[in-house]
Amino acid sequence: MVKSVLVMLAEGFEEIEAITPIDLLRRSGANVTVASVGDELDVVGSHDLVVRADVLIADCTDNYDCVLCPGGGLGSKNLAASFDVLQACIKTAQHGVVAAICAAPAVVLGKTGLLTNHRVTGYPGSEKECEGLVLENEKVITDGYLITA
């Protein structure tokens, strides 16, 4: 069965943390949808790379097997400011996988309550954005429905 993945992009996203997973997931046969958190399909990354999303996050009504939040300081803050992003993460956690990279585990998922009682890793220092969060010093952690890197 082909898995569906929603990759959510906001202005300031870290390009390698978005483009590499999108590419690898598509090569593996996953049905990847890239969603812009803004009002435009074009999203500018932290190093001025412009990526054209498939859809706006507000138009994403499907259930996805996985949602992915790339990091980036500004990108993570912009993802966390989106009700649609937080709702997609919470909804997907009920039946699928929630993945977050770099600052996104603390900054984005920290606002959802999804990190409670889970082992988490991420960008060192980002745990200050989520009261009580302790990041483990590992490259990738899979714990239940969460994958953090």
Give the alpha-carbon dihedral of 9, 116, 126, 145, to 10 degrees. Answer: -40
DSSP character at residue 120: -
Looking at the chain, how many residues does it have? 149
Backbone phi, psi, residue 147, to 5°:
-125, 120
Question: Which alpha helices (H) appear in 1-148, and where do they start and end?
Answer: 15-27, 73-80, 83-93, 104-107
Distance of CA 136 to the CA centre of its chain: 19
Marked catalytic residue, from 60, 66, 69, 102: 102
**Cα separation, 111 vs 99, whole angstroms:** 14
69 is catalytic: no
What is the set of active-site residues?
102
